[in-house]
Structure 1
């Protein structure tokens, strides 16, 4: 199989490239050249936002194209049009954010969708992802696979959510642990997302799939306890009620990454219907493996984990953490 990866050097794209190389596929990556590609790939250079930025894609044929673009949908449109007739399958890694928030628990792929257009320029994230979906489908039809991910964790994460928890817990001492401890999580390891995407493309699947774990695949307790074990720290997880955390003005998701208190936003992120992807072969590894491998990757770096450009940092300030822990005492 011949894969064209649009991007391919950072988080999800790199997981796709690594998985494809492990299968013995021929891999071509197309990107701006700002990061080092893994060995064994052919590299093409270009900037999708620049005039003639797709010039190096003017020749060549591929069985599968994987596109993780999150910017202007017009960039997906232009790439898809250029590759029409020279690519067998177009995989667009989208997001469950294409559903208007809040999303009711149990919402499947056929739930309400935000407005979007393949001709959009720079628009907000949800509309951008929906426009990218429409762009891929307009050109490739039922040969377009829309992989709607949710929370993505694992090695090379460039958002900083699990890396923040690991680094915080590695420092040890009392740790603000947001309850309830048995609160279920729904996420996908980037490597499991990559494996499913390539399997599905090879089988010729098309249409939209919610590609995250089943609700409750892990819990916030299991995630943070796995962080303690992986780091070997003396951290003491102090489980704190959501009401105490919220009354202190702590922002879920941003200051306490991954965590959302029970309610509409929790249902939106952690209660989606993924039965279609599970029936189509999605398999999700244990949280202990995701955590341990992410910690091993962090320890292999010379400095802090890289963040994707333009993203705000996540995590709770140590002084604010001490204040909240005092309130919960």
Structure 2
């Protein structure tokens, strides 16, 4: 197949390009040349889809499918979708399009944020769910349900990570010592390896199978405790995880997610955050590898010189070392009392 991949040099796009080339497809990438190197074996075109003129390099070109792994601005996606470049469009979205996480089993019929398909402006990660829903609508309204696949990914991990949550845990645990760990180690997580996400998208493209899918394991596939253990095993660290009560963490001003990555506090508003339904993707052929493999491969990438290059506008993750030690000291004092 002749595939046009928008971007194609960072994390999800990079994995899709690598897999597509391995499958024998002819791949053209279209990007600004700012994020990373184009893979060997692709036809690399330069442009910027934020304007009509920016698509000039694609004029007169045709492909079997367009794959859009990173669109964040609805108007940019709409411009690409309307360019009549291919009869099929694949868009990688996010489960953040859903308005509520109050119940387990959120599926593709759940209420979403009210996106606007022609909304323009700079990328805005603070409005990720709204913006991604707008991008979905741009694709849906242009291609219809049968000629487009929308992959709503959950928390993506794996080599060449540009989010930084799993790399932070690996790096911190590799340093050793006592490591601040949040709440219940048995709390379930749903993590999807970037290579499994990419394989699923390409499978749908090859089959020209339209639809909307939550691309997540159909149930939690690890726990916070197992993830920390996997990090220790991958790095060979003897670090000691100190599991601290959530209420105490709040009392010390520790921020969920930002300072202790992947920590979503228990509560009615987040009961379904790590329990999204992946039944549709599973039925469509999603295959997922063990989380321990993702952890190991991510560590090998980091050890070989890999570096997290955050998406523009994203803040780095992780608690400062001094603050971590202050919280641990306070926890120890409380335990003694």
**What SS does structure 2 have at the residue aligned with 1:305?**
coil
Question: In the alignment, what sits opposite 1:182?
Answer: 186
Unaligned runs of 5+ in 2: 333-337
Question: In the alignment, what sits opposite 1:130?
Answer: 133
The answer (yes or no) to whether the contact 1:73–1:118 under 8 Å persists in 2 is: yes
Cα deviation for residue 103 of structure 1 reads 4.6
1:300 and 2:304 matched: yes
Deviations 1:194-232 (A, max 9, x none): 000110121222121100112321111111111101111
Cα deviation for residue 51 of structure 1 reads 4.7
Question: In the alignment, what sits opposite 1:76?
Answer: 77
**What SS does structure 2 have at the residue aligned with 1:106?**
coil
Question: In the alignment, what sits opposite 1:14?
Answer: 14
Question: In the alignment, what sits opposite 2:87?
Answer: 88
The answer (yes or no) to whether the contact 1:32–1:47 under 8 Å persists in 2 is: yes
Question: In the alignment, what sits opposite 1:99?
Answer: 98
Cα deviation for residue 328 of structure 1 reads 2.6
1:109 and 2:108 matched: yes
Normalised by the length of structure 1, the TM-score is 0.95
CA distance in 1, matches of 2:180, 2:71: 33
CA distance in 2, matches of 1:151, 1:174: 26
**What SS does structure 2 have at the residue aligned with 1:109?**
coil
CA distance in 1, matches of 2:213, 2:159: 23
**What SS does structure 1 have at the residue aligned with 2:87?**
strand
Deviations 1:240-296 (A, max 9, x none): 222222222211111111121222454343111111111111111111100010011
The answer (yes or no) to whether the contact 1:244–1:327 under 8 Å persists in 2 is: no
The answer (yes or no) to whether the contact 1:70–1:128 under 8 Å persists in 2 is: no
The answer (yes or no) to whether the contact 2:170–2:299 under 8 Å persists in 1 is: yes
| Aligned CA distance change for structure 1 residues 209 and 242 (closer, same or farther; 3 Å) | same
Larger mean CA deviation between 164-173 and 240-249 belongs to 240-249
CA distance in 1, matches of 2:243, 2:266: 15
**What SS does structure 2 have at the residue aligned with 1:228?**
helix
Question: In the alignment, what sits opposite 1:43?
Answer: 44
Question: In the alignment, what sits opposite 1:229?
Answer: 233
CA distance in 1, matches of 2:25, 2:235: 35
Question: In the alignment, what sits opposite 2:278?
Answer: 274
CA distance in 1, matches of 2:18, 2:102: 33
Question: In the alignment, what sits opposite 1:3?
Answer: 3
Cα deviation for residue 59 of structure 1 reads 2.4
Larger mean CA deviation between 232-241 and 290-299 belongs to 232-241
CA distance in 1, matches of 2:271, 2:215: 16
Cα deviation for residue 298 of structure 1 reads 0.7
The answer (yes or no) to whether the contact 2:97–2:129 under 8 Å persists in 1 is: yes
**What SS does structure 2 have at the residue aligned with 1:315?**
coil
1:143 and 2:161 matched: no
**What SS does structure 2 have at the residue aligned with 1:97?**
helix
The answer (yes or no) to whether the contact 1:151–1:269 under 8 Å persists in 2 is: no
| Aligned equivalent of 1:250, options 240, 251, 254 | 254
Instruction: Please identify runs of 4+ aligned residues in structure 1 that moved more than 4 A.
Output: none
CA distance in 1, matches of 2:87, 2:104: 35
CA distance in 2, matches of 1:182, 1:58: 53
The answer (yes or no) to whether the contact 1:169–1:233 under 8 Å persists in 2 is: yes
Question: In the alignment, what sits opposite 1:58?
Answer: 59
Q: CA RMSD in A?
A: 1.5
CA distance in 1, matches of 2:201, 2:93: 12
Larger mean CA deviation between 97-106 and 28-37 belongs to 97-106
1:153 and 2:154 matched: no
CA distance in 2, matches of 1:266, 1:152: 19
Larger mean CA deviation between 61-70 and 264-273 belongs to 264-273
The answer (yes or no) to whether the contact 1:154–1:191 under 8 Å persists in 2 is: yes
Unaligned runs of 5+ in 1: none
